[in-house]
Amino acid sequence: VALLLLLALCNAIKIHGEESNGLCDVNLTLRSRPHSVSILEFGAVGDGKTLNTIAFQNAIFYLKSFADKGGAQLYVPPGRWLTGSFNLTSHLTLFLEKGAVILGSQDPSHWDIVEPLPSYGPGTELPGKRYRSLVNGYMLRDVVITGDNGTIDGQGSVWWEWFTSHSLNYSCPHLVEFVSSESILVSNITFLNAPAYNMHPVYCSHVHIHHITVYAPPGSPYTVGIVPDSSDNVCIEDCSISMGHDAIALKSGWDEYGIAYGRPTANVHIRRVQLQSFSGSSLAFGSQMSGGISDVQVQQLHLYDSLTGIEFRTTKGRGGYIKEIAVSDVDMLNIKTAFGANGHFGSHPDDKFDPDALPLVAKITIQNIIGTNISMAGNFTGIEESPFTSICLSNVSLSINSASSSPWQCSYVSGFSESVFPEPCSELNNPDASSSCFSLLKPNGRAAVL
């Protein structure tokens, strides 16, 4: 059985860097727009001091009239364009020229206040309303944010100070957020110093994010790079992300609110990315996952200088599921814990959650991993009433930097492993579990049962 499993896993993906076809191979492409205007035409001043919120709003309002004429482009030339939050429109390209920097105002009165997302109930950091993101899209279609490596800088240091001193009136804003939108393309942009998330597609479909650079300093609290949230058909590729907290985090709502909203994150393809996270995980699933996370294909990652490499997070009361996850061809360097699965992670939005809403974590395959200077191989802590099952490891080689006799810790978890060093815990050496393991990276980008 073990030999058959290994053969199936190896046939599912070329071992030496050749990838199978997946969602990223058939996703959105950049389209030209028949109409284009410069933000200069609307009175904007790129001196880093003049507030340009009205200029951006007026420009996009004008370009909205071209939606049925092939769409339009808003061109941002070199300069430092200070602004508060503004909304995009459908069939629009926001193009940032080389040397163009959109700066988020450090005056909170320049950021709109909006209601919390329905799948998060009373809100995230604080109960009640939240600050709207700097760049927003609501119920839009066919939107592109791109350029010649222009920059969107949230100037988040003041927000981080307010967060740590508990002086915020509302939850922190993100840099770019799309809500209930589809056909979104983001490419060739640098994101810096987000107050919280950098890219947050929530309740979205067909999102393609590629060739972006994302950075926030190590001390920035809870900054996250890309957060696909209750969204489907998402491609993330060829990105470099270094964050204070998580680099990429997949989510789908919080406790009873996420369960009621009922929209999973599904059909996600992540490949050829470099990820670093100071206080979190390079790649995280959850912990807000109450709508479910499934059908995720991950390949060709470089993870470095992180607290945790790959982590699955949940807790009692979450409900939902994390399943059908396939991770392959990962290089890790200087990671404290290579793999984690934690069934006791995170808090609750209020006391209305159902403690009997038990999450399902199952059918996770991880293969072709090389790790250097790793402190701990894996920590898998499941839930007694709902153990994590079908955790499958293959062709994993980790160089452990500590003298610990227990590089793996496991409880309430079961699975199968083959060619794994150091030897995993006995719970992950169950041959009977191999029949329910998932193979990796089928041509359609979906995992398929062996």
**What residue segments make up the domains of the chain, in order of their start?**
246-442
Say how far apart CA 192 and CA 103 lie, in whole Å.
Answer: 10
Say how far apart CA 105 and CA 375 lie, in whole Å.
Answer: 41
Residue 111's Cβ-side half-sphere holds a number of Cα atoms within 13 Å equal to: 28
Q: What is the mean pLDDT of residues 233-254?
A: 97
Are 436 and 363 in contact by the 8 Å Cβ rule? The answer is: yes
Q: Is the pLDDT of residue 355 over 80?
A: yes
What pLDDT shows up at residue 433? 66
Q: How confident is the model at residue 436 (pLDDT cuts 50, 70, 90)?
A: low
Q: Is the pLDDT of residue 367 over 70?
A: yes
* Exposed/middle/buried for residue 268 (C-beta within 10 Å: 0-12, 13-18, 19+): buried
Q: What is the mean pLDDT of residues 270-293?
A: 97
What pLDDT shows up at residue 183? 95
Q: Is the pLDDT of residue 440 over 90?
A: no
What pLDDT shows up at residue 28? 62
Antiparallel, parallel or unpaired: β 150-153 and 100-104: parallel
Of 23-27, 88-92, 406-410, the one with minimum mean pLDDT is: 23-27
Are 296 and 326 in contact by the 8 Å Cβ rule? The answer is: yes
Q: What is the mean pLDDT of residues 378-407?
A: 93
Rg of the chain, C-alpha, whole Å: 22
What pLDDT shows up at residue 127? 87
What pLDDT shows up at residue 405? 73
Q: Is the pLDDT of residue 417 over 90?
A: yes
Of 48-62, 174-188, 422-436, the one with minimum mean pLDDT is: 422-436
What pLDDT shows up at residue 290? 98
Q: Which of 23, 10, 55 is nearest to 228 (CA)?
A: 23
Query: Mean pLDDT score of the chain, rounded to an integer?
Result: 91
What pLDDT shows up at residue 29? 65
Are 180 and 138 in contact by the 8 Å Cβ rule? The answer is: yes
H/E segment holding residue 235: strand 232-237
Q: What is the mean pLDDT of residues 388-396?
A: 96
pLDDT digits (tens, 9 = 90+) for 198-224: 999 999 999 999 999 999 999 899 999
Q: Is the pLDDT of residue 129 over 90?
A: yes
Q: Is the pLDDT of residue 441 over 70?
A: no
Q: Is the pLDDT of residue 3 over 70?
A: no
pLDDT digits (tens, 9 = 90+) for 7-57: 333 333 332 334 446 788 875 667 789 999 999 999 999 999 999 999 999
Q: Is the pLDDT of residue 151 over 90?
A: yes
Q: How confident is the model at residue 99 (pLDDT cuts 50, 70, 90)?
A: very high
What pLDDT shows up at residue 7? 34
Are 409 and 336 in contact by the 8 Å Cβ rule? The answer is: no
What pLDDT shows up at residue 27? 56
Q: Which of 279, 316, 271, 272 is nearest to 296 (CA)?
A: 271
Identify the sign of the CA torsion 253, 259, 261, 262. Answer: positive
Q: Is the pLDDT of residue 281 over 80?
A: yes
Q: What is the mean pLDDT of residues 414-424?
A: 95
Calculate the CA 358 to chain-centre distance: 23
Q: Is the pLDDT of residue 447 over 50?
A: no
What pLDDT shows up at residue 113? 96
The residues near 214 (Cβ < 8 Å, ≥ 6 apart) are 190, 191, 192, 194, 198, 199, 225, 226, 239, 240, 241, 242, 243, 247
- Assign domain 246-442 one CATH number from 3.30.2130.10, 3.90.740.10, 2.40.30.10, 2.160.20.10: 2.160.20.10
Residues above pLDDT 70, as percent of the chain: 90
What pLDDT shows up at residue 112? 96
Q: How confident is the model at residue 449 (pLDDT cuts 50, 70, 90)?
A: very low
Antiparallel, parallel or unpaired: β 86-87 and 113-114: unpaired
What pLDDT shows up at residue 442? 46
What pLDDT shows up at residue 25? 82
